[in-house]
A and B are shown apart, each in its own frame.
Chain A
């Protein structure tokens, strides 16, 4: 009994320590760490006015780069390497980071420094689109995110000579899309999906719970999961790219491919990123070790 009390005390002390140094926000598991997702959605819509944040020109066949969960703390070696590979690739079109950019508050400037274009070492000034993750909103991190990166819910398109492709970025950082974002997603897809060749969605939290690596990572509640699966299938979303779990996963469900990209964090043994090739018929993924 005494041993158990000692262990619990130690766990509580470690939690308080991590909370105190603004690394893990354990209190936020009960008390929201800042604005709720409905508020973040409204603020995002005010920023974008509901319009595309970008229209990227590309050939009918093009490719883009994706990494996730950089968790920038003291170092940013892998992210800088990813940034260099992307920005020196003639065939690339843009980059995406699928959330958890930082490991503790106040590290966002360091993250932005690691992904910026440097004309001395980089050839191409591609846009890198960001997805908001749970670590990004810890300790009211949304205020920093909003001012330094921008909206958490937005869309952009890729215009090719013959087609347009639709890309939607969702905010699942607090484990739910919220009613306002969910309603917007349904009506937006209903109105716009048919105008585009392909549709790809980016979100941080995982839609499917397919393996044991997700045992300790929280995702969406069941009824929201089922509702989202139905929406994605109904509106022919072809690919849903996610981060969060830190381990690669790739599943098909009812015509939609759900892919989790492994982390590119400095501390892991096998950091990875993916390249996505888009053409008339297919969307193909290639995994790369860093």
Chain B
């Protein structure tokens, strides 16, 4: 589960990922990231790491979570702390939310507050929402994960609520301690009333060591 990068992680592990694609307004880009998830015995888990993107963005994020096992699924209460630096701007966000996961389905919803600044100027965004929702296409297969979902809160890339990405992520687990990932992400503008346009497309690959 952890290697799928869903917020309600139940396992521990470390992931290294590489992304390459095209984005407006920067053109071609690559990004490398490393993130660690650690699950404690008392239902607490924490996921966090760093990413460098060649568009000039460095980001770090940490997401602690506390999980409850329900009769039908798992629910987690999650916090979110994000910092990134891009285009001379320091960008902070703090939020909280909840995740729900059951068989084919996973959902995340929460609120975050953003403040960003540069040279003594700053802007506050008091009301932002983060969300993620999708389908686990292979819920009963141990060696494979295939998830199709929309999200505006991918790790290290916290978008405003009107700007989701469409994601397809697949994982192969050849043994208990290794996971291999391939994925694709597409982002277009235009949700919530604007006419749409192409914005970003990238492919990603990664490995995950689990313990």
Distance in Å: Cβ of A3 to nearest Cβ of chain B: 21
Count of B interface residues, CB-CB < 8 Å: 43
Q: Which listed residue (A32, A211, A227, A233) contacts B196, Cβ 8 A?
A: A32
Considering only residues 197-244 of chain A, those with a C-beta below 8 Å from chain B are 205, 208-212, 215-224, 226-227, 229-230, 233
Beta-carbon contact of A176 and B118 below 8 Å: no
Q: Sort chain A's interface into a size bin.
A: 35 or more
Task: Give the contacts of B1-46 with A (CB-CB under 8 A).
Answer: 23-27
Residues of chain B in range 142-182 having any CB-CB distance to chain A below 8 Å: 158-163
Using known A-B contacts A174-B194, A178-B25, A179-B27, determine if residue A226 contacts B87 with beta carbons closer than 8 Å: yes
Bound CA span A211–B160, Å: 13
Taking a contact as CB atoms under 8 Å apart, the answer to whether B163 and A226 are in contact is no
| B183-210 at interface with A (beta carbon < 8 Å) | 187-200
Q: B72 on the interface (CB 8 Å rule)?
A: no
- B199/A176 in contact, CB under 8 A: yes
A147: CB under 8 A from chain B? no
Give the shortest distance, in Å, between A219 (CB) and chain B (any CB). Answer: 7
- Interchain CB contact under 8 A, B121 and A37: no
- Do the beta carbons of A29 and B24 come within 8 Å of each other? no
What are the residues of chain B within 8 A of A227 when measuring CB–CB? 25-26, 86-87
Closest to A139 in B: B195
Q: Determine which residue in B118, B125, B189 has the highest number of CB atoms from chain A within 10 A of its CB, and name it.
A: B189
**Which of A5-13, A73-81, A248-256 binds B?**
A248-256
Q: Which residues of A contact B162 (CB under 8 A)?
A: 217-219
A4 within 8 A of B: no
> Which of A31, A205, A229 is the most central at the interface, judged by chain B CB atoms within 10 Å of its CB?
A229
A79-134, CB < 8 A from B: 134
Question: In the complex the two chains form, what is the Cα distance from A229 to B162 in whole Å?
Answer: 19
Query: How far does the alpha carbon of A220 sit from the alpha carbon of B124 in the complex, in Å?
Result: 16
Which among B88, B91, B123, B195 is the interface contact of A208 at CB below 8 angstroms? Answer: B123
B190 touches A174 (CB 8 A): yes
Partner of A30, one of B25, B86, B187, B196: B196
Whether B24 pairs with A179 at a CB distance below 8 angstroms is yes
- What is the bound-complex CA distance between A221 and B122, given in angstroms? 18
Q: Which residues of B contact A134 (CB under 8 A)?
A: 193-195
Residues of chain A with a CB closer than 8 A to B190's CB: 28-30, 32, 174-175, 218
Q: Which residues of B contact A30 (CB under 8 A)?
A: 188, 190, 196
Interface: B138 (CB within 8 A): no
Alpha-carbon distance A34/B128, docked complex (angstroms): 30
Which chain B residue has the least Cβ–Cβ distance from A35? B197
- A219 near B199 with CB under 8 A, answer no
Q: How far apart are A156's CB and chain B's nearest CB, in angstroms?
A: 23
B140 within 8 A of A: no
Minimum CB–CB distance for A143 against chain B, Å: 13
Would you call B194 and A175 a contact (CB within 8 A)? yes
Q: Which residues from A are CB-within-8-Å of B189?
A: 174-176, 218, 220-221
A168 interface hit (Cβ, 8 Å):
no
Q: Inside 8 A of B26's CB, which chain A residues have their CB?
A: 179, 223, 227
What residues make up the interface of A, taking CB atoms closer than 8 Å to B?
24-25, 28-34, 36-37, 134, 137-138, 173-179, 182-183, 205, 208-212, 215-224, 226-227, 229-230, 233, 251-255
Having A34-B195, A210-B124, one finds 6 other A-B pairs with CB under 8 Å, namely A174-B195, A175-B197, A177-B25, A216-B193, A226-B87, A233-B88
Interface on B for A, CB 8 Å cutoff?
23-27, 55, 57, 86-89, 91, 116, 118-119, 121-128, 158-163, 187-200
For the complex of A and B, 4 pairs with smallest distance between CB atoms: A175-B189, A182-B25, A174-B197, A230-B87
CB<8 Å pairs between A and B, sample of 10: A36-B197, A174-B189, A174-B194, A218-B192, A221-B200, A222-B158, A226-B91, A230-B89, A233-B88, A233-B118
